[in-house]
Amino acid sequence: MVTFDEGSKEDVVAALGLVESEETLKDSEGLFITNQNFEGVELKNFGGVLMGSKVFINNDSIELVKFFSSHLE
Protein backbone atom coordinates (compact mmCIF):
# COMPACT_ATOMS: atom_id res chain seq x y z
CA MET A 1 0.00 0.00 0.00
CA VAL A 2 1.24 3.46 -0.93
CA THR A 3 -0.48 6.44 0.64
CA PHE A 4 -0.31 10.06 -0.41
CA ASP A 5 -1.26 13.39 1.09
CA GLU A 6 -3.34 16.16 -0.44
CA GLY A 7 -0.23 18.11 -1.44
CA SER A 8 1.15 15.26 -3.53
CA LYS A 9 -2.15 14.27 -5.13
CA GLU A 10 -1.48 15.89 -8.50
CA ASP A 11 1.90 14.16 -8.81
CA VAL A 12 0.38 10.79 -7.91
CA VAL A 13 -2.43 11.28 -10.41
CA ALA A 14 0.14 12.14 -13.10
CA ALA A 15 2.19 9.05 -12.18
CA LEU A 16 -0.92 6.93 -12.64
CA GLY A 17 -1.08 8.26 -16.18
CA LEU A 18 -4.20 10.30 -15.58
CA VAL A 19 -4.92 13.78 -16.87
CA GLU A 20 -7.58 16.25 -15.90
CA SER A 21 -10.12 17.18 -18.54
CA GLU A 22 -12.98 19.49 -17.64
CA GLU A 23 -12.45 18.54 -13.98
CA THR A 24 -12.89 14.80 -14.64
CA LEU A 25 -9.87 12.52 -14.90
CA LYS A 26 -9.02 10.63 -18.09
CA ASP A 27 -6.59 7.76 -18.61
CA SER A 28 -3.77 7.56 -21.16
CA GLU A 29 -6.21 6.43 -23.84
CA GLY A 30 -8.38 9.47 -23.29
CA LEU A 31 -11.17 7.53 -21.56
CA PHE A 32 -12.85 8.95 -18.48
CA ILE A 33 -12.00 6.94 -15.40
CA THR A 34 -14.90 5.92 -13.20
CA ASN A 35 -15.52 4.68 -9.70
CA GLN A 36 -17.42 1.48 -8.84
CA ASN A 37 -20.72 3.22 -9.63
CA PHE A 38 -19.42 4.12 -13.09
CA GLU A 39 -19.37 7.79 -12.18
CA GLY A 40 -16.53 10.03 -13.31
CA VAL A 41 -13.80 10.78 -10.77
CA GLU A 42 -12.70 14.39 -10.36
CA LEU A 43 -9.22 15.44 -9.31
CA LYS A 44 -10.52 17.28 -6.26
CA ASN A 45 -12.23 14.10 -5.00
CA PHE A 46 -9.61 11.57 -6.07
CA GLY A 47 -9.04 8.97 -3.36
CA GLY A 48 -6.82 6.37 -5.02
CA VAL A 49 -6.82 3.10 -6.87
CA LEU A 50 -7.33 -0.30 -5.25
CA MET A 51 -6.23 -3.90 -5.66
CA GLY A 52 -3.43 -2.72 -7.91
CA SER A 53 -6.05 -2.95 -10.64
CA LYS A 54 -7.89 -0.02 -12.04
CA VAL A 55 -10.65 0.34 -9.47
CA PHE A 56 -10.58 4.08 -8.87
CA ILE A 57 -12.24 5.58 -5.83
CA ASN A 58 -13.21 9.00 -4.58
CA ASN A 59 -11.94 10.26 -1.25
CA ASP A 60 -15.07 8.98 0.48
CA SER A 61 -15.34 6.16 3.01
CA ILE A 62 -18.53 4.83 1.43
CA GLU A 63 -16.49 3.93 -1.65
CA LEU A 64 -14.24 1.76 0.52
CA VAL A 65 -17.36 0.15 1.97
CA LYS A 66 -18.58 -0.65 -1.54
CA PHE A 67 -15.16 -2.02 -2.44
CA PHE A 68 -14.94 -4.33 0.57
CA SER A 69 -18.56 -5.36 0.13
CA SER A 70 -18.02 -6.32 -3.50
CA HIS A 71 -14.90 -8.33 -2.60
CA LEU A 72 -16.47 -10.25 0.29
CA GLU A 73 -16.21 -13.81 -0.91
Tell me which residues touch other proteins (CB under 8 A): 1-9, 11-12, 14-17, 27-28, 46-54, 57, 59, 61-62, 64-66, 68-69, 72
Distance set, CA 33 to CA 6, 72, 73 (Å): 20, 24, 26
Return the sign of the alpha-carbon dihedral for residues 46, 25, 52, 61: positive
Is there a contact between 20 and 45 (Cβ–Cβ < 8 Å)?
Answer: no
In angstroms, give the least distance from the CB of 11 to other proteins: 6
